[in-house]
Structure 1
Amino acid sequence: MLDRYLNAAVLHDLKNRLAILSDELTKLGRLDLPAQAHSHARQAHEQAHVLTRKLVEFLTAQQASEAGGLRAAAAEEVPEAMLQDMHSEAQMLIHGGLQLQLEIAAAVPAFWFFDQHLVRLALDSALYNALRFARSRIVLGLRVEDGQLCFSVSDDGPGLQATPAHNSTGLGRLVCDEVAKAHRNKGRSGRSVLRNHADGGAVFELFLP
């Protein structure tokens, strides 16, 4: 029991210190420095962000493995606004000719009940995978299908069969599944899907009841 609490304390401390490091690197990037220094600061900031995300995923997976599993603290949220925020924040991660687009269906309700923290964790994981493999475009989507709200992240990369798996822990995929299952409503559970896109590339979908 002591080991479990000690591990959690150390991980949370690391997460907080990474947040401080990320904030300091952001401030560094705003200074009047040579372009090469800005490039190194940006890359360091991105790595700190990835490490923070991995730690949060690990803590979430650890929580899901405990008695009672992962629980969603669902509240009334504005799904379109959340996706808009995600799009804006992700712009700083886009380099070169990569485009980040939004596709929001007209019939999406103004409000939906879900745990925004957990949903963002799953979508951020999917977005980082898309950033690794996209050739020119990533699309963040939002629609309603079969009475469920569906967030999606698609890319125009090589698709799932061509995606190297040897350097993946599978942690992000596990967390996405647990986040989906933690959302329940009227006897239905959420689900996550990772598949090849009909037009090429891969698409991740998170369905919330």
Structure 2
Amino acid sequence: MSNDNISFPQVLAASVQDMKSSLSMLLSSLDVITDLQENLDDTQKQTHATLHYEAARLNTEIFQLQLFHKLSKNDLVPQIDEHYLIDILQEQLANCDSLLQIRGVEVELECDEDFNWYFDSELIASLIYKTLVNCARYSQGRIKLSAIEDDGQLLISISDDGNGYPQFMLEQARLEKLPEQFNSTQLDFFCSRRVAELHTKQSDCGSLSIANGGAYGGGLFQVRLP
């Protein structure tokens, strides 16, 4: 095998698209079950909720693999264009709708319908989707999703009413770069932060932060773009 000139990153990149297609079919099938949920007993509902969450989480992990592959090759160039924030936010809420329903989570959306900004819609949408999936898992039943202009920057915030981020995650979020031995949490935050930082305007670049508090006293995830 060593003489076949096969690169693992190339194999991984070639396989990801098929994985995404299969996962899309799985999520669609789970959505059908969601429509029939009133006919399920409590154990079946809980099993369905777990399956849906894990499938949604796997969806975000596959996208992150693609993202990290491009970052490792310095091949990730944001496709900046003008977008209405309400469209981006509503689209990601729709993508998470079944999971939010299963979890019994209510979402408060705060965004002016005429508010627009320049950014890479696919990259930023992926951050929103991934955070909504996590919030659906850890919230007690309430999430607030907002997009406003703050001090000349776009500020996207996602708050929940869960127990907040554990201390180790808050500490890892302060790391400037990945350590030689890193875990999945550190990799996740590193990739997400790089997505924000790739959005630049003159001498300013985007940023990402996590904290506790927010609208409902739980976790607070924020992305700022110049």
- Count residues with an aligned counterpart: 204
* Cα distance per residue 1:14-38 (max 9 Å; x no partner): 2222222223343455579942497
Return the alpha-carbon distance in structure 1 between the equivalents of residues 110 and 39 of structure 2: 37
1-side partners of 2:162 and 2:38: how far apart?
34
Structure 1 residue 121 corresponds to structure 2 residue 137: no
1:133 corresponding residue in structure 2: 138
Q: CA deviation at 1:113?
A: 1.2
**Corresponding residue for 2:92?**
86
Q: Distance in 2 between matches of 1:59 and 1:84?
A: 24
Equivalent residues of 2:56, 2:133 under 8 A apart = no
Q: How far apart, CA to CA, are the structure 1 residues paired with 2:126 and 2:13?
A: 18
Could you tell me which residue of structure 2 aligns to residue 63 of structure 1?
70
Which segment is superposed worse, 145-154 or 169-178? 169-178
- Tell me how far apart the structure 1 counterparts of residues 166 and 11 of structure 2 sit (CA, whole Å): 40
Query: How far off is 1:193 after superposition?
Result: 0.9
- Residue in 1 that maps onto 2:184: 169
2:217 aligns with 200
Are the equivalent residues in 2 in contact too, given 1:183–1:190 (CA < 8 A)?
A: yes
Residue 136 of structure 1: CA displacement?
A: 3.0
Consecutive unaligned residues of structure 2, counting only runs of 5 or more, are 171-182
- Bigger Cα displacement from structure 2, 84-93 vs 169-178: 84-93
Q: Distance in 1 between matches of 2:96 and 2:66?
A: 23
Q: Is the 8 A contact 1:91 1:100 kept in 2?
A: no
Superposed CA RMSD: 2.9
User: Quick one: distance in 1 between partners of 2:65 and 2:138?
Assistant: 23
Q: Is the 8 A contact 1:130 1:155 kept in 2?
A: yes
For 2:125, give the aligned amino acid: R
Q: How far apart, CA to CA, are the structure 2 residues paired with 1:125 and 1:159?
A: 16
Compute the displacement of 1:47 (Å).
2.6
Structure 2 residue 102 is the aligned partner of structure 1 residue 98? no
1:19 aligns with 2:41: no
Match of 1:54?
61
The aligned residue for residue 203 of structure 2 is 187
Provide the TM-score with structure 2 as the length reference: 0.77
1:123-166 Cα deviation digits (max 9, x unpaired): 1122222223212311001111121111111112222236889x
TM-score by length of 1: 0.82
Deviates more, 1:48-57 or 1:156-165: 156-165
3-state secondary structure, aligned to 2:140: coil
What amino acid is the match of 2:164?
G
Segments of structure 1 that go 5 or more residues without pairing to the other structure are: none
Question: Is the contact between residue 78 and residue 198 of structure 2 (CA under 8 Å) also seen in structure 1?
Answer: yes
Specify the alignment match of 1:73 in structure 2: 79
Distance 1:202 1:29, change over 3 A: closer
Q: Deviations over 1:143-190 (max 9, x none)?
A: 11121111111112222236889xx72133222101101211223211
Deviates more, 1:146-155 or 1:169-178: 169-178
Taking only the aligned residue pairs, the percentage that are identical comes to: 25
Amino acid at match of 1:204: F
CA shift in 2, pair 1:110/1:6, >3 Å: same
SS in 1 for 2:55: helix
Deviation at 1:117, TM superposition (A): 0.7
Displacement, 1:76? Answer: 1.4
Alpha-carbon distance change, 96 to 54 in structure 1, aligned in 2, over 3 angstroms: closer
